[in-house]
Amino acid sequence: MSAVRLRRLGLSMTLAVLLGAAGPAEAARRGPAIGPRQAAPPNAELLQPEEPGPLRIPDSQLEPIEFSDLPNWADDDHASAFAAFLASCRPIANANASANASAPSAANANAPDARPVRPALGAVCRRALAAGPLRGEKARRFFEENFRPVRIARLGESAGFLTGYYEPIVEGSRFPTGIFKVPIYRRPPDLVAPDAPPGASFPNRGRVVRITSTGESVPYYDRGEIEDGALDGQRLEICWVRDPAEVLTIQIQGSARVRLEDGTMLRINYDGHNGYPYTAVGRVLIDRNIIPREEMSMTRIREWMAANPQDAQEVRRQNRSYVFFRVVGLTGDREPVGGQGVRLTPGRSIAVDRALHVYGTPFFIEAELPLEGARSADPFHRTMIAQDTGSAIVGPARADLYFGAGDDAGRVAGRIRQPGRFAMLVPREIDPVAAGARMPLPQVRPAPEPEKPAKALRRSGRKALRTPSRHGRRSRAYR
């Protein structure tokens, strides 16, 4: 067996041991499996922070690799990637400082995110903030010295899946007019997420209900009911836009800039959903042979809906999910704020499955994408930073690439539906290769003791009974 295969086999075995070491909560409490520990002094938790536990991501296959295994890693714009990473580090460092300033023990043990990546990423972020903005070779060395690339995919799959998103810029009005007659709603007060922790922001997926006047919990109105006027008279309208297709686009993208009559740019952002699973309208149009798969894009969807308003209403209602918004500002120049609370960076920010991944985690993504045109296959090898999420972004190797604001960004984003390979950059604090090297090898199995003469004789007799006869049949004694 070659040295390379031996190394990969060893890394896989190491990771298998780590992944089976403990459950997430127990792993976070115990720290990495690195052999027996010395007895901790009294009040040890007051003297040092908890060590991160082993890396665990459900339904995932993980393979540690080297940076040299990443195609075109050295050619990436590492300064741009580091700037986006630095933006994520500020809230991470602030959250760590708040946790450390509070009373230790139980309060900190029950922190909102106890996954091992979270504290390990905090340590890297402290070093990044201390280093400040880095350029070129220094930025590349920072990533290489502080992270280990780990291939990640869903179990049984070799690649993940990529889509694109952007921030639409549309015309609108504060009041309904003959042109602007379709409302964009804020989150209704009777919409409740009963499973969300107290004080948490509204989740981007999961169970939600409507609380009736009698206190009963019932499913919320779906898209068809809302389009038919279920929310009329509740004064929930933020503004009005031209048509339902624009509302659908804004809901899919999660934010928008609405240029009002006086030129004011109204910024709106996701603030809740009605609890129904998202159904891709593009998938419905493909399944009905209305738009060929190879021509599918947001632009084609909007063109078809404009040309077929009656049919478009029925197709839209196949997606019963509905999204609500909040006003986040009156300026039009800066990028929108993602789920992490930091402004997104076009070409560097991605939305990921928040249930699996930690905000601020870098990913190196390899793909061939139609960036220059609908039929092009342009190489895409780039470090991206997890800074956003979305209800349709589900799985360990699933990402939505942010391309910016406006129609040009929208045309590119609407074409992205391609496979891609993911390498998660794991902080060295939880490097699975280093952790595996620290694990003690299992003890050598002792040699069996010699058999006693009587026992050996009995074994010899049983063997004789099993010996076939010269006719190829077993002896009568055995039968």
- pLDDT digits over 334-364, tens only? 899 999 999 999 999 999 999 999 999 999 9
pLDDT > 90? residue 226: yes
| Distance in angstroms (rounded) separating the CA atoms of residues 391 and 100 | 32
Virtual CA dihedral for 24, 28, 33, 39, nearest 10 degrees? -140
For residue 15, the model assigns a pLDDT of: 43
For residue 437, the model assigns a pLDDT of: 58
Number of neighbours of residue 50 by Cβ within 10 angstroms: 18
Residue 127: which H helix or E strand, with range? helix 117-131
For residue 447, the model assigns a pLDDT of: 74
pLDDT > 50? residue 32: no
For residue 436, the model assigns a pLDDT of: 58
Please choose, from the candidates 130, 138, 123, the residue with its C-alpha nearest in 3D space to the C-alpha of residue 49.
123
The model's pLDDT over 174-184, given as tens digits with 9 standing for 90+, comes to 999 999 999 99
Which 8-state DSSP code applies to residue 219? Answer: P
pLDDT > 90? residue 217: yes
Question: In angstroms, what CA-CA distances link 341 with 120, 328, 336, 344, 384?
Answer: 20, 12, 9, 9, 17
Give the pLDDT band (50/70/90) at residue 205.
confident
The model's pLDDT over 34-71, given as tens digits with 9 standing for 90+, comes to 233 333 333 333 333 455 567 889 999 999 999 999 99
C-beta separation of 51 from 114 below 8 A: no
For residue 438, the model assigns a pLDDT of: 58
Nearest-Å Rg of the Cα atoms of the chain is 29
For residue 196, the model assigns a pLDDT of: 82
Full DSSP string of 165-187: EEE-EEE-BSS--SS--EEEEBP
Full DSSP string of 28-82: HHH----S--PPPPTTHHHHSPPPP-----TTEEEEE--GGGSTTGGGS-HHHHH
For residue 459, the model assigns a pLDDT of: 58
pLDDT > 80? residue 234: yes
Instruction: Indicate the pTM of the whole model.
Output: 0.74
| Distance in angstroms (rounded) separating the CA atoms of residues 301 and 347 | 24
The model's pLDDT over 393-417, given as tens digits with 9 standing for 90+, comes to 999 999 999 999 999 999 999 999 9
C-beta separation of 257 from 406 below 8 A: no
| Distance in angstroms (rounded) separating the CA atoms of residues 12 and 10 | 5
C-beta separation of 153 from 422 below 8 A: yes
| Distance in angstroms (rounded) separating the CA atoms of residues 182 and 176 | 8
